[in-house]
Amino acid sequence: MTDSSTAQDRRWLALALLCVAQFVVVLDASIVNVALPTIGQALDFTESNLPWVVNAYVLTFGGFLLLGGRMADLMGRRRVFMAGLVVFALASLAGGLATNAGQLVAARAVQGLGAAILSPRRSRS
């Protein structure tokens, strides 16, 4: 295998990884809606607090997208992507292990932060 074909293969692998990461970010924002009734029963959410399971993620994701882009510009896209992936994964684990409503909402907010950091984009200065 030549250096040119190896570089080509690596670019396709990187593209596939970015596509999967973006799919997981979007999926995580929407799929939780299906589980809201079960989550509400299991963790004793009140009817008025249940939307915060979705809103905590979406608000932090939208709020930190520009910061994530600027971090990528300053510190390097690969490094920031990997950091966002670690934050997202750890927050997902914390959300899965949550035993009360506050823990789940906090984990979802941190998930949104991780998603904003790992979302592939290019900011303009």
User: Tell me, what amino acid is at 57?
Assistant: Y
pLDDT greater at residue 6 or residue 104: 104
State residue 124's pLDDT score.
55
- The pTM of the full predicted model, rounded to 2 decimals, is 0.86
Using alpha carbons, list the distances in angstroms from residue 100 to 13, 39, 67, 103.
39, 10, 30, 6
Return the pLDDT at 37.
92
Mean pLDDT lowest among 8-22, 30-44, 102-116? 8-22
Q: Which residues contact 26 (CB under 8 A, 6 or more apart)?
A: none
Q: List all residues 6 or more positions away from 61 whose beta carbon is below 8 Å from its beta carbon.
A: 25, 29, 112, 113, 115, 116, 119
Q: What is the pLDDT of residue 1?
A: 52
pLDDT of 6 higher than 90: no
Nearest to 52 by CA among 114, 112, 118: 112
Number of CB atoms found within 10 A of residue 90's CB: 14
Mean pLDDT of 104-108: 97
In three-state secondary structure terms, 36 is helix
